[in-house]
Amino acid sequence: MASVAQPVSRRERLRLATIDEIKQTARDQLDEHGAAGVSLRAVARAMGLTPSALYRYFTSRDELIAALAADGFASLADTLEEAFDLAPRDNHARRWLEVTRAYRRWSHEHVTEYMLIFGTLGLDYTPPASQPCDGTERSVAVLFRCMAEAIDVGLIDPSRFAAELTPALRAELEEWRADTRNTIPPEGLAACLIVWTQLHGFLSLELFGHLPPVIRDVGALFDQQMLDVLLRCGYQGPVDFVPGRQEHGRPE
């Protein structure tokens, strides 16, 4: 007989609601003041709590920042997984584009979170190595799954990268493969890293305002870059749509 879930106690509901309020207050301070303006004392003051009361929920500023980063990664992973599931399974280029478009939309809708987990807001915070972030692994897994499934059906042949891998790099990729229990060969992981870094490089240039201002149709440029990097990795499937047709400029 399946076990019946126990109802959450009122005390636990209040505790979870307080944690959510603490994190939202900290996000507001990140938006307004940057990372330097976030402190447990400032959060407590904004909420009308004493600092000692706040320490019952977060024992340090780093713990609070880590919780915000974990929430950001989880939100990103949810977005990418939904885009992957909704995209056509038999059109790998289209699915890759839909997933990367979702990534771009998320980055524009969550600029503070993006800068916290990938940019400058978290430069004074070093996450403990003993605290892996599930959202990080999930978000990367979606991007790599796009590549892995295209490799599996023969639409991407990463063998071209085999000769380019130094023995040291191949060994490191093998180690990474073992750590993540990944079935993608080292040359395939090299291709995954190429598309991953291209995606992040573009978004960071865009969000930090470093793209040439004369380029106004950034959405079309993004689409073209995402397709180009796929082709550079040896994609041999059909591309039967026009980049940029669904999105122009900054995502709505």
Rounded distance between C-alpha atoms, residue 161 and residue 97, angstroms: 23
pTM metric for this prediction:
0.85
pLDDT band at 252 (very low <50, low <70, confident <90, very high): very low
When the candidates are 3.30.70, 1.10.730, 1.10.10, 1.10.3470, the CATH number that belongs to 10-59 is: 1.10.10
Asked if pLDDT for residue 5 goes beyond 80, the answer is no
Q: Which two tokens stand for residue 104?
A: 């771009």
Mean pLDDT along residues 158-179: 92
Supply 2's token pair: 């399946």
The CATH number that domain 69-123+130-233 falls under is 1.10.357.10
For residues 173-187, give the mean pLDDT.
Answer: 89
Instruction: Provide the 8-state DSSP code for 59.
Output: S
Amino acid in position 38: V
- pLDDT for the residue numbered 44: 94
pLDDT, position 46: 94
SS3 content of the chain, % helix, strand, coil (to 5): 65, 0, 35
104-139 residue pLDDT tens: 999 999 998 898 888 755 445 555 554 445 667 889
pLDDT tens per residue, range 48-103: 999 899 999 999 998 999 899 999 999 999 999 999 999 998 899 999 999 999 99
Q: Where are the domains of the chain?
A: 10-59, 69-123+130-233
